[in-house]
Each structure stands twice: as structure tokens, then as C-alpha cells.
Structure 1
Amino acid sequence: MKTILVIGTYDTKDDELHYICQRIADMGGQVLSMDVSVLGDPSAPTDLSKHQVAEAGGASIRQAIDAGDENAAMQIMARGAAALTAQLYADGKIDGMLALGGTMGTDLALDCAQALPLGVPKYVVSTVSFSPLIPADRLAPDIQMILWAGGLYGLNSVCKSSLSQAAGAVLGAAMAVEAPVSTRPVIGMTSLGSSCLKYMKHLRDPLQERGFEVAVFHATGMGGMAFESLAQQGYFAAVMDFALPELGNLMVGSVVHSGPERLTRAGAAGTPQIVAPGCADLVDYAGWQDIPAAYTDRPFHAHNRLIKSAALSGDERRALVRDIVARLERANAPVHVLMPKGGVEEWDREGGEAHDPQALAAMADEMEKTVKAPLGLTMLDAHINDAAFADAALAVLDGWIADGTVKLG
């Protein structure tokens, strides 16, 4: 029997939350209810009251009410709810969570989801699911979101469709989940699709033959966020962070980024890093966005209807390299940078849509000037998709295995 933590403002969404709890119970699950209301009260007591939540957030309901505005009040409740969620899981009292809300409830729910480790089902039913209001760095690596259609005010047949699916989904996930317990050390790798970056094909088998498990993250915003989240937990034996477009996107203001902490958390956790500027020559835009006028005369690649890219100038690439190096210099473990002078993604080869040899040369020059000891640097007369690049990465890793920097057991 699995127990699901159901979180919401029971003063304003009492009927909806009780409906979810009943659906979970009808399917054989158990429920712990958590009330994160501030002003009102539920129709019946919840397992965790709003007073307990506020106290876990370092305050009281009275202090939340007196905070002056609803945002300040809900941040108190969010701190408390996240702390209680983490504690309940650590104590073995819950097997998953489901939270319900509009923008206020969703804001709080995202913190609760991030308080749980990878592999614990975490569902958020929200009126703003999948909205650009939600930045990638607020999302837990394996969060699931369900759009709450017709759910702004009151229980009805339309919103019951979303709520009943959510109840079944979270309970089913708690019953079916295979938590990530690896018997081998894990290499965390970033990449993009193999039409752009192909080193995965050269690296996965040799890494597995060396005794590693390989987890590859899609560096399109949320993938980089998931990578950073696990890196922060010390989940990886080493990382091969070879796709850095999210940093260029952050630099120029694109929405396709992973937040300000990208390329910092592995180093902060003491995880050795092999780094290369894969696809760092391009800035990505959502397919529905207009390319800013300043980029309309740049080399351009339309990947699909969801994402399109324009090339960074030589000066922009120099600035990006300086940012990359500054982040790496904060690391608490060895770092080695690989700079493939022949190109950093498939479309910048000669004849490709993003080919710009002068800007690529500027990137390589800045890398050679900026990377200083204790950071390591290898300048490669190769393209990032060549086998020679993968061989160089494996040579660095093998050296670290030999000297004990990276452990195989």
C-alpha cells in the first residue's frame, strides 16, 4: 500500500482536494493531507495543518498573515511545506506527492517537488502547467505536470477529468517506479540530438566497458537543469559536460536556459569535470519567437518547429568563454577543458548553415588565453564530432582513473 502526500490550499480548494484524496483511497492508496492555506480553514482537519506548515517555515500563521502581502505569506508556507515534505519522505511516511494549485499553489508545489529525490513520484496539477511562467531551474528533474483544465474555481465534470487522471498517475507511479540505484559509478554527460552532436556514439560503449553507467542529458534548458540538480547531489563519479548552449542562451536573454547556476554544481560538489563548448556557438530561440533584429543577419539554423538557432559573433563567443572559465575556476575538483578547433557542432562545418571560421577561431583563441592552471586544457585539431575528440576525453578520464581522481568502485 502506497501513501501519497496531497498538498494544497484546503480553504479555497477543499472540494477538489478531497476529491483527489478519495480517488486515491478508492484505488487502494493511502493519503497524508497537507494544508498550506493562510487565511481560511478546511472543512475537516488535515493530517498536517497550516499551523504546522508555517512553523516548519520558521514562522506562524499569524506572522504569515501579518507579512503584508500574499507573496510573502506563501513563501513562508512554501519553506515549511518543502521542509515537511522532505522530512516525511526521510521518515518513510510517503511514497509520492501530488500538489494542486493556480500560480500561488504551483509556486509552492515546485519547492516541494525539489525537496524530494529523483525517483520519488512528484505530480503537480496546475492551471499554469507547461507555461513559460515556470523557468527550467524551478523544476525537479523528474517532475510530472498535468494541466488543470476548468479548475480555477470549483469542482466540475471538466476538472474532474484532470484530477482523476492525476490521482491514478501518482498512485500508479508510486507502485511502478524503479528508483535509480546504480551498481556502477555514473558518468553524467550533456549533449543535443545526434544530428548536431555525435560524440555520444563514440563514448558510450567505451565508458560502459570501463565500468561506468552513462546518463546523457538534453541541454535544452530543462535537461541542463536536471543535470545540475543531480550534480549538486553528488550523483556522478565524473561529468562530461560537452554541450553548453544554455550558457550562451542565458547570456543573450533567450528563454532556453537552465538558470544562473549552470556549469557550477558539479564543481561545487567536488565532481571532476571534462568540459567542451559543444554548440556554444549558437543561441537558441523557441520556435514561436521572432529572431531579434540584431541576429537576423547571422548564420541561422531552423532545427524544427520548436527550436531555431542563430550564431554568436566572435566577440560574443569570447565573452561566453570568459564566463565558462569563470564558472569552472570555482570548482572544488579537477577540471579539464577540451577545445576542438575544427568546430563545435555539426552545422558549423565548412558548407554548413552555421559555418563561421572567424568566430570559431576567436572562440579557440580566447579559450587558449583564458584557461589557466589549475584548469587543464587540450587544444584539438579536430571537430567535436570526430573520433579524435572522444579519444581525447577518454584519455583525460583514464588519467584520472589511474591517479584515483575518479573511482570505479
Structure 2
Amino acid sequence: MTRTPRILVVGTGDTKADELLFMRDRIAKAGGVPVMMDASVLGEPPYRPEYNRHAVAAAAETTIDAVAASGDENTAMTAMALGASRLASKLQETGEIDAFIAVGGTMGTDLALDVALALPLGVPKFVVSTIAYSHLIPPERIAPDLMMILWAGGLHGLNGACKSVLSQACGAVVGAARHVLKPAKDDRPVIGMSSLGKSCLTYMVSLKSELERRGYEVVVFHTTGMGGRAMELIAARNGFAAVMDFSLQELANYLNGSVVNSGPDRLENAGRAGIPQIVAPGAIDMVDFPTWQPVPEVFADRPYHAHNRLIASVTCGAEARRRIARAIGDKLAAATGPVAFVLPSGGIQQWDQEGEPLHDPDGLAAFVDEMRSAIREPTELHEIEGHINGEAFVSTVLAIFDRWVAAGIVPAGKGRDNQVGDREVLLAALDKATERFAH
């Protein structure tokens, strides 16, 4: 960054004035320009912020008097969160801020999470909170690039412990704003792809190189909760030319009550945005939970696999898999763009094969059977006999993708037009190559 970074500082100045003024000072000393936004409801802060509580309320299309008159602290802070989010988004879009930091307890954190979500991926975001990394915070409330630090000793007033935390946070957000690399100007269309590590799902190794050879940039997301959240948020902002969503395990986790999920809108945002999608059911048979916790009682008799000391998996039964299949079908049916679903009847993750700890042919058969009826037109269904980690899966995906490129459904990759040749000939060849998979 060539200019001095401008840091938006958000908090309730009527109750946190000492802390916010300390942060203003530390940001300035670190070489940033603090831009203060006050989200107070009941009183004025003892300083003049660049954006006062009246401006925040106005951004929510209300007044501070109306907010205060609601008589309910949750309703009041929700309104201020809406105003702060809208105002922060506008300031970022017009180049008036480069990064964001907030401080608060549960109330301030609730507001700060909305502000962070309103800012694009890549804009530095830092929240100093008394509930940092707490399970009180649902996955869908967390911006995928959010940085948090526990506000230790910060319940009331300044002290040595909280000054240490606040100064670290201020230095971190200024440093991030100074050194963040904004996305380079690249005319390659971006493909979003999901996977669950190279030990469980391996298709990304072949697909990434093939797609890059075709002139695309491939961004792979690790579907352990926040990875899927990041992909969904980028898709919601129409950030992909196409999505290859082949690891839906976060959806299975959500439906089975696991904390390792991406929220209720997993597998929805690309479809809502009309982005072309090729989808597959990678790892939907597994339910994750922390290795350091007991196996959930409902899964006590199911096959178990400890991936490491943090995350373990069990398989869900046949009926649960049928329920997952129906949920996938419903979500894809709501898509406004083209969708193809590839169904590997030979297996959907590394450890479900014969001799592996999560092998369950009856459960897989139940899922495949339900999936055949859950997918309905206009979604394309391509069933293959092989495993999701096999060559047939990769070749099927590429055949669908190349057909869509030739038809103009997906934009051509950088230099792709020079490789395509006669469009009608290619379309006929690709249709012939894939028709044996389609139902």
C-alpha cells in the first residue's frame, strides 16, 4: 500500500471510550489513520467520532431515538449492526477505509461480526472480543478471513493485560492493511472447487492442472467448516465463473448436528447467483466431531476413523444418507443456473472402499438409490460406476465442463478460443462422450 492505511474502528463509545481512545492512539502510533465509528445507543461518547451514532442509525433507515425507544437491547443493537454494516461497506467501496477493527463483549461482538461479513474477502478484519473463538458464534456469522483475539482482562476499564491485547490487535490490523496483497489483475476466469484434503478426496490433483491448462485459475476450499463458508460467501458475490462443488461433507455435518459445518445455506449461493455448477457427493457419508470429545451416542455403533487429534469421523446410516440425498436434490433444484450432478456409485471418499475403516456398501447403495430420484430436471444427472477418486470421475467432470465452455455456458479460459476449433463439432463429440453417463 502506497498511502497511509485508514482503519475503521467500531465500538460503543458511551461504554468503551477508554479502550477505543487507547486503540485510536495505538493505531496512529503504528502508522495508520484511525477512523472512528460510534455504535452507542443510549449516550454520546466523550470524543467526536468521524461517524457518530446518528449516522449509523440513519444508514439503517431509522433514527437513534427510534432505536433507543425499542426498549429491547437485542433489537436496538441489531438495528445498529445493520447501519454499521451498510456504512462500513459504503466506506470500503469508496476507498475511504482499508481495514476494520472492533472491540466488544457479546453485544459488541454481535455487531462486529455483521460488519466483518459486509466487507469483501481480503479486506483486513480484526475483532477483539470476550468470546473470541467461542462456540457461541455460529459458523455463518464468521467472515472467512476474520482475525480474532481474546479481550483478556477487558471487562471494565484499562489495565496491563487488556492494553497488551489491544495494542497487539491495533498493530496487527495496521500491518495487515499495509502488506495485504490485493488480487492481481488476471483475466483468467476463476473456478471454485471444494475438497476434503488430499488423503480423503484426490480428484483436485488432476482437475486443477487440467483446468489451469485450459486457462482457468482454480481456488480449492477445504471443507472443514470455514472453507465451505468462504466458498459460499465468494459465490454470493458472484466471484466464480463456475463452481465444482465435490465435497458436500459440511452439509452432511449440518444435517446431523455437527459443529463442523458451514451454516444452513451450504450448496445454495452459487445456484442463487446463477453460477454454473458441477456437483458431486464427496464424503457425505461421514459426520465429523472433535476427536477429543466422546463419540456422539447416536453414532456409538458406527464405523469410526480418527483423522488426527482434532477431528474424527463416523459414518451415518442408510436412512440418514437418504435424507442427505433429498436435501442435496432440493438445494440443486432451487438453482437459477445450470447444474450437473456426478454420482459415483463405486464410492465417495477414500475410506469407504473395501478394506478401509468406513466401508459400508449397504449405506452407499441406499444413498445412490435415493440420489437417482432426488435429482430432477433441469439438473443433469451423470452416474458413473467408478469411485470419486478414480479416473472416470475426472474425465466425466472435464467432459461436462468442456461442453459447457463450448456452448458458452462457462466463459472460455485465457487463450481457450484458440484451442476450441469448430464449436459444433466439439459439442457433438462431447455429447457423445457423456451421453452414456446421463439420465
2:134 aligned with 1:131 = yes
Aligned to 2:109: 106
- Partner AA of 2:313 in structure 1: S
2:190 aligned with 1:170 = no
Alpha-carbon distance in structure 1 between the residues aligned to 2:180 and 2:412: 27
Per-residue displacement from partner, 1:92-133 (whole Å, max 9, x unpaired)?
111111111111101100111111111111111111111111
Alpha-carbon distance in structure 2 between the residues aligned to 1:34 and 1:272: 40
Deviation at 1:291, TM superposition (A): 2.1
2:74 aligned with 1:64 = no
Q: Which runs of 5+ in 1 are unaligned?
A: none
Aligned to 1:261: 265
1:321/1:367 contact within 8 Å kept: yes
Deviation at 1:316, TM superposition (A): 1.1
The correspondence for 1:312, drawn from 310, 316, 321, is 316
The correspondence for 2:378, drawn from 370, 374, 390, is 374
Deviation at 1:15, TM superposition (A): 1.0
1:58/1:76 contact within 8 Å kept: no
Structure 1 residues 237-276: aligned runs within 5 Å? 237-276=241-280
Deviation at 1:365, TM superposition (A): 1.2
Aligned to 1:5: 8
The correspondence for 1:277, drawn from 277, 281, 294, is 281
Alpha-carbon distance in structure 2 between the residues aligned to 1:90 and 1:111: 16
Alpha-carbon distance in structure 2 between the residues aligned to 1:390 and 1:103: 46
Deviation at 1:254, TM superposition (A): 1.2
Deviation at 1:288, TM superposition (A): 3.6
- What secondary structure, in the 3-state scheme, does the structure 1 residue paired with 2:9 have? strand
Would you identify which runs of 4 or more consecutive aligned residues in structure 1 move more than 6 Å? Answer: none
Deviation at 1:259, TM superposition (A): 1.1
Deviation at 1:13, TM superposition (A): 1.1
Deviates more, 1:225-234 or 1:299-308: 299-308
Q: TM-score, normalized by length of structure 1?
A: 0.98
Aligned to 1:223: 227
Pairwise CA RMSD = 1.1
Aligned to 2:350: 346
- What secondary structure, in the 3-state scheme, does the structure 2 residue paired with 1:285 have? strand
Alpha-carbon distance in structure 2 between the residues aligned to 1:269 and 1:289: 38
Structure 1 residues 56-95: aligned runs within 5 Å? 56-95=59-98
- What secondary structure, in the 3-state scheme, does the structure 2 residue paired with 1:71 have? helix
Aligned to 1:30: 33
Alpha-carbon distance in structure 2 between the residues aligned to 1:227 and 1:149: 32
2:213 aligned with 1:209 = yes
Alpha-carbon distance in structure 1 between the residues aligned to 2:64 and 2:170: 29
2:328/2:374 contact within 8 Å kept: no
Alpha-carbon distance in structure 1 between the residues aligned to 2:310 and 2:248: 19
Alpha-carbon distance in structure 2 between the residues aligned to 1:67 and 1:256: 36
Aligned to 1:324: 328
Alpha-carbon distance in structure 2 between the residues aligned to 1:239 and 1:381: 23
- What secondary structure, in the 3-state scheme, does the structure 2 residue paired with 1:62 have? helix
Deviation at 1:357, TM superposition (A): 0.3
Aligned to 2:19: 16
Aligned to 2:296: 292
- What secondary structure, in the 3-state scheme, does the structure 2 residue paired with 1:100 have? strand
Alpha-carbon distance in structure 1 between the residues aligned to 2:220 and 2:41: 42
Alpha-carbon distance in structure 1 between the residues aligned to 2:188 and 2:173: 29
Alpha-carbon distance in structure 1 between the residues aligned to 2:83 and 2:16: 19
Alpha-carbon distance in structure 2 between the residues aligned to 1:131 and 1:83: 26
2:398 aligned with 1:384 = no
2:278/2:339 contact within 8 Å kept: yes
Deviation at 1:292, TM superposition (A): 2.2
1:118/1:179 contact within 8 Å kept: no
Deviation at 1:81, TM superposition (A): 0.4
The correspondence for 2:149, drawn from 146, 149, 161, is 146
- Partner AA of 1:131 in structure 2: S
- Partner AA of 1:283 in structure 2: V
Identity of aligned residues (%): 54
Alpha-carbon distance in structure 1 between the residues aligned to 2:356 and 2:349: 10
Q: How many residues align?
A: 409
Deviation at 1:366, TM superposition (A): 1.3
Deviation at 1:364, TM superposition (A): 1.0
- What secondary structure, in the 3-state scheme, does the structure 2 residue paired with 1:125 have? strand
1:278/1:345 contact within 8 Å kept: yes
Q: Which runs of 5+ in 2 are unaligned?
A: 414-439
Alpha-carbon distance in structure 1 between the residues aligned to 2:122 and 2:131: 24
Alpha-carbon distance in structure 2 between the residues aligned to 1:180 and 1:322: 38
- Partner AA of 2:290 in structure 1: A
- What secondary structure, in the 3-state scheme, does the structure 1 residue paired with 2:199 have? coil
Q: TM-score, normalized by length of structure 2?
A: 0.91
2:402 aligned with 1:394 = no
1:118/1:180 contact within 8 Å kept: no
- What secondary structure, in the 3-state scheme, does the structure 2 residue paired with 1:195 have? helix
Per-residue displacement from partner, 1:334-376 (whole Å, max 9, x unpaired)?
1111111111111101011110001101111111222222111
Alpha-carbon distance in structure 2 between the residues aligned to 1:265 and 1:407: 19
Alpha-carbon distance in structure 1 between the residues aligned to 2:293 and 2:193: 29
- Partner AA of 1:392 in structure 2: T
Alpha-carbon distance in structure 2 between the residues aligned to 1:339 and 1:102: 46
- What secondary structure, in the 3-state scheme, does the structure 2 residue paired with 1:241 have? strand
